[in-house]
Chains A and B, each alone.
Chain A
Amino acid sequence: MRYSGFRVAWEGLTGNGGWRPVWRDPAPKPAYDTLVIGGGGHGLSTAYYLARNHGLSDVAVLEKGGLGLGSVGRNTTIVRANYLLPGNSEFYSHSLKLWEGLERELNFNVMHSQRGLINLFHSDGQRDAFARRGNAMVNQGDDAVLLDREGVRELLPYLDFGQTRFPIYGGLLHPRGGTARHDAVAWGYARAADARGVDLIQNCEVTGIDIEGGRVRGVQTTRGPIRARRVAIVVAGRSSQVAAMAGLRLPIESHVLQAFVTEGLKPCIDHVISFGMGHFYISQSDKGGLVFGGDLDFYASYAARGNLPMVEHVMEAGMTLMPMIGRARLLRSWGGIMDMSPDGSPIIDKTPVEGLFLDCGWNYGGFKAVPASGWCLAHLMATGEPHPVAARYRLDRFATGHVIDEEGTGSQHNLH
């Protein structure tokens, strides 16, 4: 079923009786050519591009719960291409271009909104760092505008420009940055992959990986064994557990990241804004809720919920920056499991096991990467060669020293 404005109007006028489930709910076959473990954003986009770009449709996605109930449906939806370092720069640039055509591509409204992202700076040193980053973005072919204090005031008049502890010096504006509807991205890729013949198998937890003579042969699941020639591990926060089934020890530590949403308000925050002197960033959802977050709780965790000190810090930082939100009531807070890598950058690579691939280490920035990650992993799996924009996301880069440490904080998992 194709979606269109006409279709929505027609269904609206005729009682909405014509909508049907948009993907099948198949039982697993005994064997596939290719398996993708994990039905989050990255697993679903990988399956879609395996079919779409490489003509492979004997593919199944194995998801232990329901599609899109992991971090892909828990994030704060920021989509941007404002990276500094070679490796990240070309990858996220590619991803943003895919985002810009995604709705047409998937025939699904993912509510991609390029409302502009503003990273505020509060000192001369920070201004220099952001100017450098902006130059890197422009050199990559993306967009960046360095705003001075008055430039920021024009766009964000409601910030507290009077406070002197962390004065606002300006901001780096990334006009093509913005947000998207997280669930819709999972649903859109799921629907499009299903339409190309991919089996999306839910409530199917992978419990073992079968390896013979150094080659992957299939997996064990809670719905029985499934044979396959190629298997990809795309399970984000659970990467260490699933990789351990193949005897691999990963450079990953899982951490909790929290987020918050207020009651729905009239439109008041038009951009995505990040504070440069505390852990706080914010945007307003199309429903009106102020969606905001901060940094990790900083200790390893699989609890998918956080603790109060980070809640307090985020609220304090928000109030420092924009006291106008102080009367908004907080509706919910939640947490997600982040697969933190030692340099803050991801891994899209083969593993030492023939036919077994790995896509992980998304830290807290993997939502914006969903299109390009699937694109590049599918390329690697189908052709055996890394995609040029993901060629630096190697599993062995920590051993060889070719790290991509965007924040320059060293090899400590929770500092990225």
Chain B
Amino acid sequence: MLIPCPLCGPRDRREFYYLGAADYLRRPAADAAPAAWDAYLHLRGNPAGETRDLWYHEAGCQAWLVVSRNTVTHAIAGAALAGEAADAA
């Protein structure tokens, strides 16, 4: 599995740490209701198909990436820096 890091180019999956769905980018405000924190930390769409998830290029440039992937085929459509991704808060 090669992940196309926008800074480093296509790199082996072993260089990356996986966090989870891109939902982690939408962190609630500190004073948000507990339900918002439950949704943020636990509840997931968990799609069988196209997904966007967070990978950390630990053994490379150390950037956080949002990777667009297919969970059924493992095909990777692309990756963007998390700070610039469309779903960043």
Interface residues of A (CB under 8 A from B): 238, 240-241, 249-254, 298-303, 307, 309, 342, 398-399, 411-414
With A249-B45, A252-B46 known to touch, is A303 a contact of B74 (CB < 8 Å)?
yes
Q: Which residue of B lies closest to A238 (CB)?
A: B48
Interface residues on B, range: 20 to 34
Q: Which residue of B lies closest to A252 (CB)?
A: B46
Q: Which residues of B contact A412 (CB under 8 A)?
A: 19-20
Main secondary structure of the interface of B (DSSP, over half): mixed
Q: Which residue of A lies closest to B23 (CB)?
A: A253
With A253-B20, A399-B34 known to touch, is A299 a contact of B53 (CB < 8 Å)?
yes
With A251-B42, A302-B48 known to touch, is A307 a contact of B21 (CB < 8 Å)?
no
Mask: chain B, 9-20; 1 = CB below 8 Å from A; 0 = not:
000111000111
Q: Which residue of A lies closest to B17 (CB)?
A: A298
Q: Which residues of B contact A303 (CB under 8 A)?
A: 71-74
Q: Which residues of B contact A254 (CB under 8 A)?
A: 46, 48, 71
Q: Which residue of A lies closest to B41 (CB)?
A: A411
Q: Which residues of B contact A413 (CB under 8 A)?
A: 20, 44
* B38 interfacial by beta-carbon distance below 8 Å: yes
* Bound CA span A82–B35, Å: 33
Contact between chains at A249 and B74 (CB < 8 Å): no
Q: Which residues of B contact A238 (CB under 8 A)?
A: 48
Q: Which residues of A contact B68 (CB under 8 A)?
A: none
With A299-B53, A300-B51 known to touch, is A309 a contact of B71 (CB < 8 Å)?
no
Mask: chain B, 22-51; 1 = CB below 8 Å from A; 0 = not:
000000000000110011011111111001
Contact between chains at A302 and B71 (CB < 8 Å): yes
Contact between chains at B71 and A301 (CB < 8 Å): yes
Contact between chains at A300 and B46 (CB < 8 Å): yes
Q: Which of A240, A241, A253, A307 has most B Cβ within 10 Å?
A: A253
* Bound CA span A298–B45, Å: 17
Contact between chains at A411 and B42 (CB < 8 Å): yes
* Bound CA span A208–B66, Å: 32
| Sample (27) of A-B pairs whose CB atoms are under 8 Å apart | A238-B48, A240-B46, A240-B47, A241-B46, A241-B48, A249-B39, A250-B44, A253-B21, A254-B46, A298-B18, A299-B53, A299-B55, A300-B21, A300-B51, A301-B71, A302-B71, A303-B73, A307-B74, A309-B14, A342-B41, A342-B42, A398-B38, A399-B34, A399-B35, A399-B38, A411-B41, A412-B20
With A307-B1, A399-B34 known to touch, is A299 a contact of B42 (CB < 8 Å)?
no
Q: Which residue of B lies closest to A240 (CB)?
A: B46
Cβ-defined partner of B45 (8 Å) among A240, A307, A309? A240
Q: How far is the CB of B23 from chain A (nearest CB, A)?
A: 10
Contact between chains at A250 and B71 (CB < 8 Å): no
